[in-house]
Chain A
Amino acid sequence: MPKISAVEHVEEAAERTQDLIGASNWNAAIQHCCEVCPPKSKEAHIRALAGGVFGSVLQAVPSDQIADVIAALDTPQKTLVMKYTYKAMGSSEECAKLLKWHGALMADSGRGIICRALADRKI
């Protein structure tokens, strides 16, 4: 079986995520992103690509669905969502939705989730 490069892996994940977003399957889209990210690569542009994919999912989820999506995640997935929320805020023009994600994750998991986001330097 031919090896797929990290870029192709992320691009495939982006396509699959877009399909799930198009079908309004928010839970599946977030969980698919959690499986794919962070990519097993040290290259900055691949990590940025993965961050963009995750950011697009976070922006796509409607505000009233955020709490329900978070409730369906387990603790490591919630931590990953928080890490990518911070990453997306660094590169997004509109951050109102991302701030809602931040507030909802904080309300669900407390301050510890921010400590875990601070401690991970792989994202």
Chain B
Amino acid sequence: MAQTLKTYLTAIRATLDAALCLRNFASQMVERHNKPEVEARLNKELLLQPLVVARNETEKTLIEGSINSLRVSICIKQSDQMDEFLVDRFSRFLAQRAEEFVILRRTACKGYDISFLITNFHVETMKRDELIEFIMHFMAEVNSEISIMKLAVNARARVVANTFLKEFV
């Protein structure tokens, strides 16, 4: 299982490395505007083929590139309802603070849990390799974060249940 995770992350890193070749490109439709083309989607010739790197049906990453921007959408592994709830809470917590993260999107793309939007301006002000490293670190750590949260919830629930039911003993 750890082996497929390693190959999954390696494939994503390689794809990001290839797709994160961005340059400044002003909008062709609106004068004096500069929009991330992966979001605007006004000109087909400026968009690249969206690629999906998947580990299984529930764990996948969608990488959509364009001439001046890249969108990375991640589907985090959710094995039960508790995982779904925790992932939802966690992703909302991060997305509400999207301005602090700079490259995080406020809402995830449909079908995914969290999305990043990287533009040419981000690549100009930040190191490209470090951006890729940030996303890879996030993906490697998010599953363990969710597991830790799940254990904490179960532990708290156990304590609460014990304390409550002691009154009836």
Contacts and interface: CB of A to CB of B under 8 A. Distances in A.
A94 B59 CA distance: 10
Interface string B131-167: 0000000000000000000000000000000000000
B4 interface: yes
A106 B14 contact: yes
Which secondary structure characterizes the binding site on chain A? helix
Interface in A83-123: 83, 86, 89-90, 92-96, 98-100, 102-103, 106, 111, 114-115, 117-121, 123
B51 to A, nearest CB: 5
B108 interface: no
Given A95-B56, A114-B14, A114-B18, A86 B4 contact: no
B15 interface: yes
Interface stretch (B5-13, B33-41, B78-86, B120-128): B5-13
A90 B52 contact: yes
Chief secondary structure at chain B's binding surface: mixed
B49 A118 contact: yes
Contacts of B54: 89-90, 92, 95, 98
B94 interface: no
Contacts of A115: 18, 21
A111 B17 contact: yes
A88 B55 CA distance: 12
A22 B53 CA distance: 28
B19 interface: yes
A86 B14 contact: no
